[in-house]
Structures are given as C-alpha cells and as structure tokens.
Structure 1
Amino acid sequence: MTDLRQLGWDNYQKNCSPDFGGGSLGRVRRVDRGEVDVVTEMGEIRALSDSKRTSVSTAPATGDWVEIKEDPDMGFLVERVLPRYSSIVRRDPAELEQAQVMVSNIDLVGIISSADRPINIARIERFLVLAENSQAEAILILTKQDLGIPREWRGVVEDFSEIQSIETSVIDGSGIAKIQNCIAPDRTLVLLGESGIGKSSLVNLLMGEEVQQTSEVRLGDKKGRHTTVARELLTIPTGGILIDTPGIRGVGLWDAEEAVDRVFSEISTEAQRCRFKDCTHTAEPECAVINAVTAGVIDQNKLARYLRLREELQEQAEKRNLQRRKPR
C-alpha cells in the first residue's frame, strides 16, 4: 500500500484544485513510448498512455498526476492527466517547432555543475530560463566541492545572489542535508545537468542506496556517459520527491521571452531606458544598455549571451508563424 502523500499529493492539492473523477489516482514515475509507470495506492502499475489506445488528450510526462482505469481487454489505461501547476517545457528535439513537456508538478529545479570541469555560464543561464519559465524555484548545485570551489562558480553565485546555492560532496556528505531540507516533506525537485557531473551519485546519496548506475568520465575530455537513461521519479526516504533526468548538454527554449528578461533582469530593466522601444542593443543611438556596458555596469559577454537567447526565440517564433500559415 502506497501513501500518496509521500508522492506529493497534499502539496499538489495546495497548488491545484483538481476535478477528480472516478478512476484510480496515481503519479507518473517514468514515461516510455506509449506506456507509463504509475505509482498508485495499490503500488506501481504499467498503463497504456498513447492517444490511439486511450482517450487521453494530453501526453503524460514524468511527475504528472493521472486517473487510471482498468480495461478488461487492454489492462490499465491512462484516463486523464490532471492539471499541472508547473512544468519544464522545451522545444521538442524530434519535431519541427513543437513544445515538449519534460517534467511536471515540480517545486524546485536543481541546476547541477561540477567542480572538476569548467563552469558553463551560458548553460547555467539557459537552465535558469527553463526554471523561470516553469513556475518552479531554481537552486544552483555544485557537486564534487571537495576538489575545491572554482572561481567561476563563485562568480555565478554572486551574479545570481537571489538564488539559493548549495555546494555538495558525496565524499563527506556536505550539502546533502540542505537539499533534503529543501524538499521535505513533500516537495518535488528535478535535477538538470550534463552527463558525468556526479548527478547519479548525488541521487544515490539522497536515496540512501544505489538506485542509479554511475560511470567514470573519460579522462581526456571529462565527458560523461548517460548513466540515467530516462526521466524517473523517486521518493526520498527523508521526505520529498526527486526526478532524475538524463544528461543534457543543450536544450531548446520554448516561448520563454519573458523568462529570459527575468533571468537577465539587469539588462531588461536598463533596456526600458533606451530611446527606441524596439532597440536591439547593438548599434542604436541612445541605447541605455550599450551605455551601461561602456560604463562597466553590465558585462559585455553577458549581454552577448542575452542577445543570442533573444535571437533564438525570435527565430523560433518566426518559424512557428510560417508553420501556421502553411496549408494543411
């Protein structure tokens, strides 16, 4: 017998007011092609979830709360996906300009970096935009801090001082209690980061046992292999829920213009003082952003990263508009 409160049901009801029907209730632990593993009060079941064999109109994602019914011929079916109070959405890498929900009903987004490789500021900012767009709270997490704290990491923490940062080590267990306190008793944390940065080791330490396989990174380039092969929901023994994800090196943003402006708030705030409302912050006269860069208030490299994200989203919007105009 599974207590749904351990899966975050009480927390879900605080954030949503679900119109629950007559089916069995459960939370999606893992998604495969056309099927999902769902944890219910009676335990974990395998249910069909594709639109051809079920009546569900929304594709389930890891973290979803769903209604399940049992069909005498086909077995368990996903009847309905309950409303989501948050979700990480990216541009579907397999489709032409289409959104893909990676995980849902999350409270915290753990953005992972490792002390044994260069801190990728551009990737951190991109993940922060994903988190901001998801309606969840971001946490910056450094693994392998026993190797020393990189100077670039300190710069990121200072630049985003309003965001909680936690430095961890599986060698001495430092930082683990802080993460546990963030998610207990029933909040959901999703971990994002590239392969080989100690994500699986961190998961195992939080779980108190080896639930995810770990592998050594290549010595030549510090690249890691995907030891986590699918997004997977786990319940932490000390309270709270964890969603581990396969390593991500790059991820396309989706409909995230406002989130970009909030993550780069010092730039978007300064931009309101520009002479032209459609200022590109590249060559226009009386551009407040360029003036701030000249004065040393805004870092030129950060502005370049901001402009690249804005350009990416603009191109994406133009492609979507072309798709809509194409005859069907």
Structure 2
Amino acid sequence: MIIEQYGWNENWQVKWNGIIHNQERAHNKRVPGRITGDFGSKYRVMTEAGETWGELSGKLRHSVTDSGELPAIGDWVALAMQDGGEHAVIHGLLPRQSVISRKVAGNTQAEQIVASNVDTLFLVSALNDDFNVRRMERYLIMAWNSGASPVILLTKADLCPDADTRIAEMERAAPGVPVHAVSALLGDGREELLPYIRSGQTVALTGSSGCGKSTMVNWLSGQTLQLTQDVREGDSRGRHTTTHREMFVLPEGGIIVDTPGMRELQLWEDEGGLDLAFGDISSLAAECRYSDCSHEREEGCAVLAAVFSGQLEEKRLMNFRKTQKELRFQSSKEQRQKRKAVASAGKTSTPRPRKTSWERQLEEY
C-alpha cells in the first residue's frame, strides 16, 4: 500500500524536500512514513515500502523537552530503515498541520496529543442517557483549538424516541457546526458522512466511552476492525474498548483514526477555541457596556440581558464561565511552572521561543 493512500501529497513532499536537503549534507538517508498506530513505546508506521514497526532514536528521545513533542498517531516522521525494512528508527517529525490535544489526566501539567494532521474531527455523542450538551461544548473548544474542522456525530439514533429534539438542542449549542444523527444498526446517515471521508482526507473520532466510536469505524469501513462492547443499562456508560490509537483506510479512500474513550476532558491551552465554541456569547459580549465585563452582575451586560430574555440558555453561560476560569487557571499554573523551571536553572533573562526537537536537530546538520 503506497503512502499516498495515507495522505501523502504535494504539500508534504515540499516540506520533506526541505528536510532532505539538510539531511543529504550529513550523508544520512531517511524515508518518510506516517504513524498509523500508537502503542506507547513502539509505533506502527506506514512507508512507501509497506508497514513496519518504529521506535524513537536515542538522540530524539533525549532531545524532547515535553510530551507534546513526541510522535503521535497521524504524524509524518523521518525514518531510518533497518533489518531490510522490518524495523525503523524515528529521527524526527514533520511540522504538524493540526494538533488535537488535551491535558493529561491528574494534576500533572503536561500535554497529551490525541492525534495530528487531521482534517475533520468527529465529536461523537450517543443519543441515549449519556447525551450531554455541556460536555460537547468542551469537546468543541478542543476541536477549534486543534486546527481541524469539527463535526458532531450523534450515534445510536435508533435508540432515541425524541432524536429530533436532541438534535435541535445540540445545534443550538454548536452554531455553525454540522450535526449528523446516524444509526450503524439501521445503516442510516452514512451518505451524509461521505464528503468527510473521501480520498486523501483524515478524520479522527473522539468522545466518551461507550458513545459508539469503534462501532462507527466498523460501520464506515464495512468490516470488523475494532472490538465493541455493550454499554451498562443502568446509566448508558461505556467501557474502554479501544485501548490505543489506531488508523485505518476506508473504502472511499479516506483515513479514520479511532481513539480511546475519555472519562473526562481536561482542556489544554486555549488558542481561540473558547470564543469559537461560544461564538454567540462572544458576539453578545461585544455589546456590553464595559469591555472587561465578566457577565456576572455588571449593569449594561448584554449577555445577562440575553439570559433574562430567554435568548441565551443560562446553563450555557454557566458552562462558559466555568470553562473560562479553568483555562485561565491552567494558563497561570503553566506560566508559574515555566518561571520556576527558569529560576531553578539559574537563568534570569526571558527565555527564547522554544524550538521543536526536529528544528534543533536540523540546526546540527
């Protein structure tokens, strides 16, 4: 299988040519490949010669300064082939076009890459008792921050007697974002997804456990690629069926990435995703009397006026406030950790912009 089927195109070739120029000066032979499976310490990689297993070079492993620089599913990487192509060493990453990331679970202040170089992010929610509009608003922030285009998939439509009501509720919470209700059991809605899975396009699935992501992979591919499990009847919560990130080629030529379900989504840095996900509130805020209005009790607040008139749902505003405070706290915490790291290293000057491990390696050639 050629790498063009995994998304290699002229744009990636141009980036690669610039890197090869530097590598030839050092007499190092490299080949491009895409990470198709992330299994922790090892990666499955697709190259022009076929599929192989790869692991980080020692130099790359020790040059990485944070977890966000490690290879992730969807990355294009530079490889040195070994053992006749049965094994490869990963020496660097090509610059990413999009990065879907979140904060790692717990109190650790670190980034976890969910997938990279994704064109469309399918945000999956089941139309059962696990349906949650407020949670989807958080997923939309992650999607807008990533650079990928968000699309909401409401699965298990056959199990929902009031599907139209819930679809309308989700559309109000995600203005401008496509919302599709589908049923893998009945085969309904697949034709609506065809524009997103055409040849050369990469889509990724994310959502809570039990929302039907693995079922979607099997349904869109027309074969059983991923294991599935039934959700608990009591609360419609699912189990972690998918335990690692994996990429598959669909019959239409598109590429789909399945990811493990999330019990909770802790957001990473905000790069405008909050304002995009809550675009209606941002537009109303422009009409507030005070530019620094917190939308809590100020006079002349257009956002509060919209709540009082019924134009804006109060629960949506509350989720906006909560998420805004969370992102601000996380940003301040990250800045404190950076200043502490600089101080402990005995540096007094302002740190220069951090380079990626790949950029640092190129400077050495």
Asked whether the two chains share a fold, i.e. TM above 0.5, the reply is: yes
**Which consecutive unaligned segments of at least 5 residues does structure 2 have?**
21-28, 345-365
Equivalent in the alignment of 1:203 = 217
Equivalent in the alignment of 2:30 = 23
Equivalent in the alignment of 2:12 = 13
Q: CA deviation at 1:95?
A: 6.3
Equivalent in the alignment of 1:167 = 181
Distance in 2 (alpha carbons) for counterparts of 1:54 and 1:250: 29
1:61 is aligned with what amino acid? A
Equivalent in the alignment of 1:116 = 128
Give the TM-score of the pair, scaled to structure 1.
0.92
Which of the numbers 175, 186, 194 marks the counterpart of 1:180? 194
Are 2:41 and 1:42 aligned? no
Which of the numbers 243, 266, 275 marks the counterpart of 1:252? 266
Equivalent in the alignment of 1:32 = 39
Distance in 2 (alpha carbons) for counterparts of 1:161 and 1:267: 11
Q: CA deviation at 1:272?
A: 2.0
Paired residue secondary structure (1:79): strand
1:47 is aligned with what amino acid? G
CA RMSD of aligned residues (A): 2.2
In our comparison, the structure showing a higher alpha carbon Rg is 2
1:68 is aligned with what amino acid? L
Q: CA deviation at 1:54?
A: 5.2
Name the CA shift for 1:55/1:216 in 2 (closer, same or farther; >3 Å). Answer: same
Distance in 2 (alpha carbons) for counterparts of 1:11 and 1:112: 31
Which of the numbers 138, 148, 159 marks the counterpart of 1:136? 148
Q: CA contact under 8 A between 1:180 and 1:240: conserved in structure 2?
A: no
Q: CA deviation at 1:20?
A: 3.9
- Provide runs of 4+ in structure 1 moved above 6 Å: none
Distance in 1 (alpha carbons) for counterparts of 2:112 and 2:282: 27
Equivalent in the alignment of 1:212 = 226
Name the CA shift for 1:50/1:320 in 2 (closer, same or farther; >3 Å). Answer: farther
Give the TM-score of the pair, scaled to structure 2.
0.83
Q: CA deviation at 1:292?
A: 2.1
Distance in 2 (alpha carbons) for counterparts of 1:152 and 1:234: 30
Name the CA shift for 1:278/1:257 in 2 (closer, same or farther; >3 Å). Answer: farther
Q: CA deviation at 1:84?
A: 0.6
- Describe the superposition over 1:285-321 as per-residue Cα deviations: whole angstroms up to 9, x where unpaired: 2222112222222221111010011000011012112
Q: CA deviation at 1:134?
A: 0.8
Q: CA deviation at 1:116?
A: 2.4
Equivalent in the alignment of 1:147 = 159
1:186 is aligned with what amino acid? G
Are 2:311 and 1:297 aligned? yes
Q: CA contact under 8 A between 1:185 and 1:238: conserved in structure 2?
A: yes
Which of the numbers 295, 312, 315 marks the counterpart of 1:281? 295
Q: CA contact under 8 A between 1:180 and 1:206: conserved in structure 2?
A: no
Which of the numbers 72, 76, 91 marks the counterpart of 1:61? 72
Q: CA contact under 8 A between 1:109 and 1:139: conserved in structure 2?
A: yes
Q: CA contact under 8 A between 1:271 and 1:288: conserved in structure 2?
A: yes
Q: CA deviation at 1:230?
A: 0.7
Paired residue secondary structure (1:293): helix
- Describe the superposition over 1:53-74 as per-residue Cα deviations: whole angstroms up to 9, x where unpaired: 75774310100001100357x9
Q: CA contact under 8 A between 1:11 and 1:186: conserved in structure 2?
A: no
